Chains A and B, each alone.
Chain A
Amino acid sequence: MDPDSLERVRRQVERTFARPTDLRVANGPPEDTLERRRGQYSSTKILRWILTTMASGRRKVLGITDVDLFIPVLTYVFGEAQVKGAAALVSTARLRFTYDERPASPSLVEARLLKECLHELGHTFGLVHCSDHACVMSRSNSVLDVDQKATQFCCDCRQRLWGLMDEERDET
């Protein structure tokens, strides 16, 4: 991903969650997360690895990768997160293409990445999928689903998010 694009995503994440957010480049994912037979990376294994790389003093870690992700029973996943946990992961591998497999414009890819980052981080605060298709927390099984939703939480999810963030702050 273009560093400027990643910086814009970082700023939006920081603004949305009102938490200091920084970018760090990591070398990975490790070899053992690759499933050679499928030519894909295990998102669950990468998530576990990310947790080991988390800098001290940080509450959440979100991995952004361009490798294609899967979980054993599914053909692919866009990302994965620990609900009410510390780690989340987003892949740009499938976000870079249109529904009919043509390359998508950089601005569209950036918009999709931001949505998926907000979505997966939303899970780490405890939000689950929303039935409102326009809400960023609605489940996306295809790039069409991603394009359909807004870069925002619906009113219910936003309120719930604030509550959950307060709870998390109180716990520490």
Chain B
Amino acid sequence: MKFKGSILVVDDEEIVRDSLASWLEEDGYHVDAAPDGPTALAKLAQQPYNILLVDLKMPGMDGLQVLAQAKSLQPDTPVIIITAYATVDTAVQAMKQGAYDYLVKPFEPEELSLLVGKLTNAQALRRENVLLRKALRRQFEFKDMVSKSPKVEAVFELARTAAKSNSTVLILGESGTGKELLARAIHAESPRRDGPFVGVSCVALTETLLESELFGYEKGAFTGAVGSARGKFEIAAAGTLFLDEIGDISLKLQLDLLRVLDTREFRRVGGSQLVKVDVRIIAATNRDLKKLVESGTFREDLYYRLNVIPVTVPPLRERKEDIPLLADHFLAQFRIEMRKPLEAVSAEALEILMAHDWPGNVRELRNVLERGAVLARGPIITSMELELVPPAPSPTPSGSPEPADSLREVERRHIVSILRHHNWNITRSAKALGIDRVTLYNKIKRYQIHEDD
């Protein structure tokens, strides 16, 4: 039989307790009874109740005192005060103290039926609401990532499955799409979650530095190595090692990495002893590894070693339906971090956010919103505060396209020459051009620049 809920009846008169219990049991409720306040509070401390029916006038602790203490023990349990005295004062006082309602006895059977029925229905709805919200949250969230886009939902699903295994995961996607966040989420969902998550950006360091960073070194391995040090592989033992920008490592390091992945052991730089490793590798790149393999700059065997479970995070422009959800998500973070009563972005601001192309992806969106949150003077972030340029009006109605084209051509040629000069190293080329890597990537994409240019 369906459990309708449990009710605690508090009354000093035995006949009232018995008759009310019997009446409510006929409705299918489980009924407990207490003859006085202290007994009622002891019961409340032990188990949850759906409804409390409390007589106002009782010797010793009266109904209002029981109400006050019950509210601290079970704040969500509605309390109905039963009183023989229809004074407005006590009713008002009871309601002020948080009573859900009060009944003046004797009352119509219908009244009690309706009141109790209404309360249990409302509770059932609230419970259902909480469950649905939870289910919805699970659908839209994967740890710190949110999305309701079917594409990303598929990524979350794949990542959840991947998390359970020990296999190497390769995360692909443009910069700012949240590759590291996804790697952290996979680690947090994996059986290794109690172990460390260690991240290394392979592009930030020179070949030799990266080598000692990954594998550690022994005293005297190189000038300045005054002591020995553990590398990231050792630090990540029993945990996850996240190799970001894997497409940017040198061929020599690629070989070293391949050996570790094969044998699960390595030597520290300048060391002779083999060190065993127990790490799960998650690699990420914003580059097209397949193309790099074709051009010979990335080892094919390493590519297959890494490409066990490939996960591609789509760029934000391909999941624009996520922008409102992400805006809410970031606003909730800023609300806590900045202690500002931020509520939402204005309709106009949201329109601008939706129209933007987001070359910097979710990271760019977060930055734009963070700036907006700092500047916001009220709970609503307006378009002015976003400081995002509205999308350029499409096709210029008049004017000559020629000069613009030629300027674009000049820019394209300049970028190609700088890239060539730096051997197609994005970081160094971006530095030379005075722009960040993301911007350079976007320009490469926009101008369709290829290495054979």
Contacts and interface: CB of A to CB of B under 8 A. Distances in A.
Q: How large is the interface on B (under 10, 10 to 19, 20 to 34, 35 or more residues)?
A: 20 to 34
A43 B19 contact: yes
Interface of A is mostly: loop
A144 B197 CA distance: 70
A77 B23 contact: yes
A42 B23 CA distance: 13
A73 B106 CA distance: 4
A20 interface: no
A45 interface: yes
B22 interface: yes
A96 interface: no
A72 B23 contact: no
Contact of B15 (A45, A81, A83, A160): A45
Given A128-B1, A128-B25, A141-B108, A44 B19 contact: yes
Interface in B23-47: 23, 25-28
B103 A73 contact: yes
A69 to B, nearest CB: 10
A128 B16 contact: no
B107 interface: yes
Given A43-B19, A44-B15, A44-B19, A72 B26 contact: no
Interface string A48-85: 00000000000000000000001111111100111100
B28 A71 contact: no
B51 to A, nearest CB: 14
Contacts of A142: 110
B25 A83 contact: yes
Contacts of B92: none
Contacts of B26: 81, 83, 123, 128-129, 139
B15 A139 contact: no
B150 to A, nearest CB: 39
Contacts of A74: 23, 105-109, 112
B101 to A, nearest CB: 14
Contacts of A77: 23, 109
Interface in A74-110: 74-77, 80-83
Nearest to A82: B22
Nearest to A137: B26
Contacts of B23: 71, 74, 77, 80
Interface string B1-33: 100100000000101101110110111100000
A87 B109 CA distance: 21
Contacts of A80: 19, 22-23
A83 B103 contact: no
Interface residues of A, number: 24
Given A128-B25, A160-B1, A75 B108 contact: yes
B25 A73 contact: no
Interface string A160-171: 100000000000
Interface string A117-155: 000000100001100000000010110000000000000
A71 B82 CA distance: 14
B106 A75 contact: yes
B160 to A, nearest CB: 40
Contacts of A123: 26
Nearest to A145: B110
Nearest to B29: A128
B113 interface: yes
Given A128-B27, A129-B26, A73 B110 contact: no
Contacts of B18: 44
A141 B27 CA distance: 12
A25 to B, nearest CB: 26
A104 B38 CA distance: 49
B105 A73 contact: yes
Given A141-B109, A141-B113, A142-B110, A71 B25 contact: no
B86 to A, nearest CB: 14
Contact of A141 (B16, B28, B110): B110
A139 B27 contact: yes
A135 B9 CA distance: 28
A45 B25 CA distance: 17
Contacts of A82: 22
Given A73-B105, A74-B107, A75-B109, 11 more contacts: A42-B15, A42-B19, A72-B16, A73-B82, A75-B106, A80-B22, A83-B22, A128-B25, A139-B27, A141-B113, A160-B1
Interface of A: 38, 42-45, 70-77, 80-83, 123, 128-129, 139, 141-142, 160
Interface of B: 1, 4, 13, 15-16, 18-20, 22-23, 25-28, 82, 103, 105-110, 112-113
Give the 8 A-B residue pairs with the shortest CB-CB distance, closest first.
A71-B19, A128-B28, A141-B110, A44-B19, A73-B105, A72-B16, A83-B25, A141-B109
